[in-house]
Amino acid sequence: KQEVTQIPAALSVPEGENLVLNCSFTDSAIYNLQWFRQDPGKGLTSLLLIQSSQREQTSGRLNASLDKSSGRSTLYIAASQPGDSATYLCAVRRSDYKLSFGAGTTVTVRA
């Protein structure tokens, strides 16, 4: 069974600092990995999707890396802003349609 872990569970940084969020998974036989953002009381919004054959994906201030062999992914958010405050979840997909989610890292960016 795929286990997905996100550490730390919560993170607080001053505005302007770079954010580094970690995700680890136990089974390296993944199809892809996604990072989502969830605002309080809201649904999830997909941020980045990395295919198993890729090493990284970038979108604006966001960069996600994937090291399948070690079972790790990292989401970098450059020059954080208060609007980046949210919970960030990673999810890995096996060869079927199912996603296995981590519990998330709740980020607070202090102005």
Partner 1 sequence: NAGVTQTPKFRVLKTGQSMTLLCAQDMNHEYMYWYRQDPGMGLRLIHYSVGEGTTAKGEVPDGYNVSRLKKQNFLLGLESAAPSQTSVYFCASSYGAANGKETQYFGPGTRLLVL
Binding site for partner 1 (CB under 8 A): 4, 9, 32, 34, 36, 41-46, 49, 51, 89, 91, 93, 97-99, 101-104
Shortest distance (Å) from residue 17 CB to partner 1: 26
Number of helices (H), then strands (E), in the chain: 0, 11
Q: Which two tokens stand for residue 68?
A: 């399948």
**Residue 81: alpha-carbon gap to chain centroid:** 17
Nearer to partner 1, 25 or 109 (CB): 25
Check residue 20 and report its DSSP letter: E
Shortest distance (Å) from residue 13 CB to partner 1: 22
